[in-house]
Chains A and B, each alone.
Chain A
Amino acid sequence: MQASNGIYGVMAEFDSPNALIEASKKAREAGYRKMDAYSPFPIEEVSHEVMPGDTGVPRIVLICGLIGASTGFITQYIGEFIDYTYIIGGRPNNITNWASMIPITFELGILFAAFGAVFGMLALNGLPMPYHPVFNAPRFERASQDAFFLCIESADPLFDRGRTSQFLRGLNPLQVSEVAN
């Protein structure tokens, strides 16, 4: 975290999801980019304003899935046709017998992809992270229950302690506070 003015950012609390959507829209229009919203449930419109574009998760899932499927197929190929060959049901011991290898290939593809989805999502989110400056904000424990927050971070080039607070106050929030680093 950049020690701009020694604080993490300025946080405003709103009373409804719609107010938060409105506020994040206005903040984006005002040119703020390094900001984040905190809400007790996902709000698509807010995510769109705060982080437009790609999440990066699908790419990880695809790569993991392909690695999993190849692992499954290659393992079976080695086991069945190279290292320990035996004839079952009169079927040939070569690649023409690929069909019987599909179930395990499929299952391992799914398994690895699921791990990719979960751990990829956590890694991209930087979790687990037990401490974070926003937890210092007043009433932040309500962010997981019924309160809606927008935080403009001091790392933003447009950030100015006074002017940013002024801007957030103009969005009709319940309260505005500075978040210590």
Chain B
Amino acid sequence: MAQAQPIRTTDTGDTYLLPGETYTSISSTIGDVPLTAPFKTPRGWFLGFGIAFVLLMIFLVSVTWLLIRGVGVWGINIPVGWGMDIINFVWWIGIGHAGTLISAILLLLNQGWRNSINRFAEAMTLFAVACAGQYPILHLGRPWLFYWLIPYPNTHGMWPNFRSPLDWDVFAVSTYATVSILFWLVGLLPDFATLRDRATNPLVKRIYGLAACGWRGSARHWHRYEMASLLLAGLSTPLVLSVHSIISLDFAIAQVPGWQVTVFPPYFVAGAVFAGFAMVLLLMIPVRTFYGFQSYVTIRHLDVMAKVMLATGMIVVYGYFMEVFGSLYSSSKYEQYLLYNRLSGPSAWAYYGLLFCNAVAIQPLWFRRVRQNIPALMIISMIISVGMWLERYVIIVISLQREFLPSSWDIYVPTVWDWSLYLGTFGLFFTLLFLFVRVLPMINIFEIRMYLHQETERAHRNAAAHGHDHDHDHGHAHGPASAD
């Protein structure tokens, strides 16, 4: 890759943008990755894409077999009618929530550091939602009739049941996917213009030119654009909270022991953000190294993301306490039995596993040295991803295995097709992700320019305020204590 590499300075972990960057270097370093000629694509990309593509084929095989034979190829039974399909649905969509949190909530809170990671995190959201969306549709049994869930004029004379949280899901998830795509594309518009103006190949120039819709950076346009982004952020914030709340209502509205808990909506939302930040770290750390984006995604970014993980993780731990408290305090023998069953039933390993992964393993994040240590962050993020999967396993499977009537108790064992479909959705996710990093700028270029401008201004103001006792450089984004 022919990139104008800025001179590297050591990252001391206290800045969100390493010194030495200019508007020009930002535009070329980030913008030239998608403009690399196809035959100059780094080999590592082909390797990663190849693996992802093989997994995508596993996905197609699993879906095909499912369509031929029906949901009986999975391990679901009665009483455990929701197995890995719903576990994975909740897991994937939860991962997506970190992207919306970064793009919307942190925008409203004026956190400038989000600029370096929001594009990538939003892409992760979209692809995670795409994976999540497969599961409830495939679980329908006759997936080709999924449009029956949408109210449309029909000759059956029937309507979907609008009072069911499962139908709320249809609206919540499809709205979430649509709004996320809109938000993402709006963010890309000015960057498409940058790519159009930097491209040398006429065909590539034309493609990005069409995507840019003739964006010319007019101040009048920027004014409306900024207002639209702000409003989209304002709309996405309650949306993202509503989506996982509604998903939690799939459980909380039912009467199954362990599901009917009032703490579910906030507990699910916190769990979603927790798992999502873990995934952002897992993906962002290799990408920033591979593409040399250490100037934009700094150690400080990893540090704050770890802090968000720790905070949301502790909310999740509070949720676990409330579940235990709820079952002890309920004076319902089914709820009390649920706790006993979680601690010593046939799937107790999952409950202990989740306590270890989500409550114990995150505790080192209290220490700055751990938060700024890349291998430690990778390991902890991976443990969290497993832990949040186990959480959904515990909620769904352990509760259903031991329902009210002992005569209908059963054990749930996922089959090879459950696992292959799960593996396959990783293929879908990573195939899309690799295509994204190849053809689109994975860091929001114009927002980094804006951040550089703001930080320069801030440094000037500080220098003016503190006289000349500043023996640092000429103020390129130095020591931004916090992004306001």
Contacts and interface: CB of A to CB of B under 8 A. Distances in A.
- The winner among A107, A120, A130 for most chain B CB atoms within 10 A is A107
A166 interface: no
Interface in B67-101: none
A158 interface: no
Interface string B152-171: 00000111111101011001
| Contact residues of A: prevailing secondary structure | helix
A4 interface: no
Interface residues of B, number: 63
- The winner among B165, B168, B190, B222 for most chain A CB atoms within 10 A is B222
A40 B217 contact: yes
B227 interface: yes
A171 interface: no
Nearest to A83: B159
A127 to B, nearest CB: 4
B159 A141 contact: no
A114 B450 contact: no
Contact of B151 (A79, A128, A142): A79
A36 B223 contact: no
A66 interface: no
Nearest to B194: A144
Contacts of A129: 213-214
A66 B222 CA distance: 26
Contact of A144 (B172, B182, B197, B239): B197
A174 to B, nearest CB: 14
Nearest to B191: A144
A64 to B, nearest CB: 10
A44 B226 CA distance: 9
Contact of A38 (B216, B226, B242): B216
B219 interface: yes
Contacts of A88: 161, 163
Q: Closest 10 interchain pairs by CB?
A: A128-B213, A79-B159, A121-B228, A146-B23, A47-B223, A42-B222, A37-B219, A141-B197, A41-B450, A129-B214
Interface of B: 22-24, 27, 31, 151, 157-163, 165, 167-168, 171-172, 175, 178-179, 182-183, 185-186, 190, 193-194, 196-198, 209-210, 213-228, 231-232, 235-236, 238-239, 242, 246, 249, 446-447, 449-450, 453
28 contacts: A17-B453, A36-B219, A39-B219, A41-B190, A42-B222, A42-B450, A50-B220, A51-B219, A56-B224, A76-B162, A79-B159, A88-B163, A104-B167, A104-B171, A110-B238, A115-B182, A118-B228, A121-B225, A121-B227, A125-B218, A125-B221, A125-B225, A127-B213, A127-B215, A128-B214, A134-B216, A135-B216, A144-B193
